Amino acid sequence: MKKNLFTRGATGAIVASVIATTAAVEAHATDLTLCWAAWDPANSLIELSKDFELQSGHTMSFEFVPWTSFADRMLNELNSSGQLCDLMIGDSQWIGGGAENGHYVKLNDFFDANGITMDDFLPATVTGYSEWPKNTPNYYALPAFADVVGWTYRKDWFERPELQTEFMDTYGRKLDVPASLEELKDIAEFFQGRDIDGTTVYGAAIYTERGSEGVTMGVTNALYNYGFQYENPDKPYDLEGFVNSEGAVAGLELYKELYDIGTPPGSSNWYMSENIDAYRSGQVALQMNFAFIWPGVEADETVGGGNTGYFPNPAGPAGQFAQLGGQGISVVSYSDKQDAALEYIKWFAQPEVQQQWWNLGGAPALRAVVEADDFAASQPYAQAFLDSMAIVKDFWAEPAYADLLIATQERMHNYVIAGEGTAKEALDGLVRDWTEVFEDEGKL
């Protein structure tokens, strides 16, 4: 009888403690929604986040939107103070609007309280993804995905002796990774319309897309390297002579020439996915694209496994720069689950999580990972990624970035693809458009 009473008591205690624990976990557990673009790295993040779910007891939901409608959908969400997203991996250009319009939570105090320092991250990513105003210690995001425009090329084609000989005869140099954008243009021209193994191939797949940001993300890689600057370094928003400098005109002309003589027919509206398709299907010798695609290229049966080489955007007369991509992760100020969202950021900032992020196909910006001795040799594209991240420049991140971007898309597409007017007229027009935007904003 005593034993029976003891057993009953023990069982009751166990049941009570289980109920209490479950209740405590349930009270603590939160379902967090993370919003990002629908692309390969997002799948890696789902995988990575399983570890967070195990550790924290929270559950993660994901809202991924294709790149071409990502900005429309997510900026709509933020502008309407929507509560769909607790965490937002927003584009780098949104940081100004996110901060000034109160969409993102300022993270300085949180970083200080949890020992997270921005010195641990690649400086370009901190400036590009986290700071507003730029170059001030006001942080609204943690660098989440480091990305940059770079190039892939068909190494197996480049190594063919007959092509090597012909290229040497035509251009007087070895068919190899181009040292300049001029050389890249020559290579694209060389491959344009060439017959390789019974198939007609073309030079390069470059960004030409009209609807979102494509042609801008492409053309800037030529503009930067020929002397284009967004503004007078000594006088903010002073554009004349910087946006439309002689160098900038030459850079824009080069991009148009590359489009005219070295790209596949019909590539007038191509962005990331079209370029990937063209490259993987063996249509082009060179591909401009963000580095996020490189793990997928390497794993591809046809073009991967040593058939592809990777290199940073080649230099121009004014230096070597590349268009920054990538995003930071922010806590949405309209979320009522901010504590759990901050927990996620704290977890994500850990070096072992960042290392795992790289292993799964993500692109960390934590210096402990990317500056480790074995990083450059860890993947065939790792060195090109590091070299590219060292030369980045980004588009405007002003709250009015969308107005600035749309004007750029229009001017660049009109000149490069539609062939309307001259490069000088296109850039002069861009100065007028941007000036009008800054006047509307009260900054001029």
Binding mask 381-400 for other proteins (x = CB under 8 A): ------------------x-
For residue 266, state whether it binds other proteins (rule: CB under 8 A): yes
For residue 198, state whether it binds other proteins (rule: CB under 8 A): no
Tally the residues of the chain: 444
For residue 325, state whether it binds other proteins (rule: CB under 8 A): no
Alpha-carbon distance of 429 to 413, in angstroms, equals 13
Instruction: Indicate the residue among 75 and 366 with the shorter CB distance to other proteins.
Output: 75
Q: In the complex, what is the shortest distance from the CB of residue 129 to other proteins, in angstroms, rounded to a whole number?
A: 20
Q: In the complex, what is the shortest distance from the CB of residue 414 to other proteins, in angstroms, rounded to a whole number?
A: 4
How big is the CA angle at 323 (ends 321 and 329), to the nearest 5 degrees? 130
How big is the CA angle at 200 (ends 199 and 202), to the nearest 5 degrees? 130
Closest Cα to residue 330, out of 110, 133, 121, 148? 110
Of the candidate residues 188, 239, 413, 430, the single one contacting other proteins (CB under 8 A): 413
Under DSSP, the state recorded for 216 is: H
Instruction: Indicate the residue among 48 and 78 with the shorter CB distance to other proteins.
Output: 78
Of the candidate residues 265, 301, 373, 374, the single one contacting other proteins (CB under 8 A): 265
Under DSSP, the state recorded for 313 is: P
For residue 273, state whether it binds other proteins (rule: CB under 8 A): no
Instruction: Indicate the residue among 268 and 378 with the shorter CB distance to other proteins.
Output: 268
Using CB atoms within 10 Å of the CB of residue 279, give its burial: 0 to 12 exposed, 13 to 18 middle, 19+ buried: buried
Instruction: Indicate the residue among 317 and 421 with the shorter CB distance to other proteins.
Output: 421
Measure CA 310 to chain center.
Answer: 17
Of the candidate residues 261, 406, 431, 444, the single one contacting other proteins (CB under 8 A): 406
| Count of residues touching other proteins (by CB under 8 A) | 35
Of the candidate residues 56, 267, 313, 388, the single one contacting other proteins (CB under 8 A): 267
How big is the CA angle at 24 (ends 23 and 25), to the nearest 5 degrees? 90
Of the candidate residues 268, 273, 338, 379, the single one contacting other proteins (CB under 8 A): 268
For residue 282, state whether it binds other proteins (rule: CB under 8 A): no
Tokens of 260: 């005219």
Instruction: Indicate the residue among 334 and 347 with the shorter CB distance to other proteins.
Output: 334
Instruction: Indicate the residue among 310 and 415 with the shorter CB distance to other proteins.
Output: 415
Q: Restricting to residues 65-104, name those near other proteins by CB under 8 A.
A: 71-72, 75-76, 78-81, 97, 100-102
How big is the CA angle at 65 (ends 60 and 66), to the nearest 5 degrees? 140
Closest Cα to residue 43, out of 59, 62, 69? 62
* Distant-in-sequence, close-in-space partners of 164: CB < 8 Å, separation ≥ 6: 158, 174, 175
Closest Cα to residue 357, out of 134, 69, 49, 97? 49
Helix (H, G, I), strand (E, B) or coil at 366: strand
For residue 59, state whether it binds other proteins (rule: CB under 8 A): no
Under DSSP, the state recorded for 232 is: B
Instruction: Indicate the residue among 155 and 432 with the shorter CB distance to other proteins.
Output: 432
Taken in order 70, 76, 82, 86, the sign of the CA dihedral is positive
For residue 154, state whether it binds other proteins (rule: CB under 8 A): no
Q: In the complex, what is the shortest distance from the CB of residue 314 to other proteins, in angstroms, rounded to a whole number?
A: 25
Of the candidate residues 264, 316, 326, 328, the single one contacting other proteins (CB under 8 A): 264
Instruction: Indicate the residue among 351 and 399 with the shorter CB distance to other proteins.
Output: 399
Backbone Cα Rg of the chain: 25
Instruction: Indicate the residue among 76 and 165 with the shorter CB distance to other proteins.
Output: 76
Q: Restricting to residues 338-377, name those near other proteins by CB under 8 A.
A: none
Of the candidate residues 126, 181, 204, 417, the single one contacting other proteins (CB under 8 A): 417
Helix 214-226 and helix 401-416, axial crossing angle in degrees, nearest 10: 80
Of the candidate residues 7, 61, 200, 350, the single one contacting other proteins (CB under 8 A): 200
For residue 172, state whether it binds other proteins (rule: CB under 8 A): no
Helix 161-171 and helix 181-191, axial crossing angle in degrees, nearest 10: 120
**CB contact at 8 A, 304 and 297:** yes
Interacting residue ranges for other proteins, rule: CB under 8 A: 71-72, 75-76, 78-81, 97, 100-102, 200, 209-211, 264-269, 283, 399, 402-403, 406, 410, 413-415, 417-420
